[in-house]
Amino acid sequence: MSTRPALSELPDLPCDAEGPVFGAPWEAQAFAMAVALQQKGLFSWTEWADALSTEIRHAQAHGDPDTGETYYRHWLRALERLVVEKGVATPGRLAERAAAWNRAALETPHGRPIVPPA
């Protein structure tokens, strides 16, 4: 298996004695995507820590309460920005995808799995 990232290098990662703490499933999903992309070599862990702290500073400058509840919102923003910077996707492509997921979810009656948009 690939190397475990140095979580201690991340600013303010919500943790307890046993490891990272997530407030909701999407947070864990966003966490896992960043770890997977670093393992894949899309960016280094240092690059990731820089991108994340930039987002956090930016949010704080705009009045983010910095209580930890918004941590993974900054995480997701940093992830989206790095993915765009590395040329993996354009902001337009991401927005288009989000809209397609939205349509798929709205059109799926309860009781059927939401089929990912093509």
- Answer for which of 11, 23, 46, 58 binds another protein (CB under 8 A) is 23
Token digits of residue 64: 């983010």
- Map residues 50-69 to x or -, x wherever contact with another protein holds by CB under 8 A: -------------------x
* Element containing residue 80 per DSSP (H, E): helix 71-85
Site size toward another protein (CB under 8 A) is 50
By CB under 8 A, tell whether 30 contacts another protein: yes
- Answer for which of 6, 11, 21, 66 binds another protein (CB under 8 A) is 21
Token digits of residue 36: 């997977």
By CB under 8 A, tell whether 31 contacts another protein: yes
By CB under 8 A, tell whether 79 contacts another protein: yes
Q: What angle do CA 53, 54, 55 make, to 5 degrees?
A: 90
By CB under 8 A, tell whether 13 contacts another protein: no
Select 62 or 110, whichever has its Cβ closest to another protein: 110
For the bound state, the minimum distance from the C-beta of residue 46 to another protein, rounded and expressed in Å, comes to: 19
Strand locations in the chain (E): 15-16, 19-20
- Is there a contact between 31 and 23 (Cβ–Cβ < 8 Å)? no
Select 20 or 50, whichever has its Cβ closest to another protein: 20
| Residue 63 Ramachandran class (φ > 0 left, ψ -120 to 50 alpha, else beta) | left
- Is there a contact between 101 and 117 (Cβ–Cβ < 8 Å)? yes
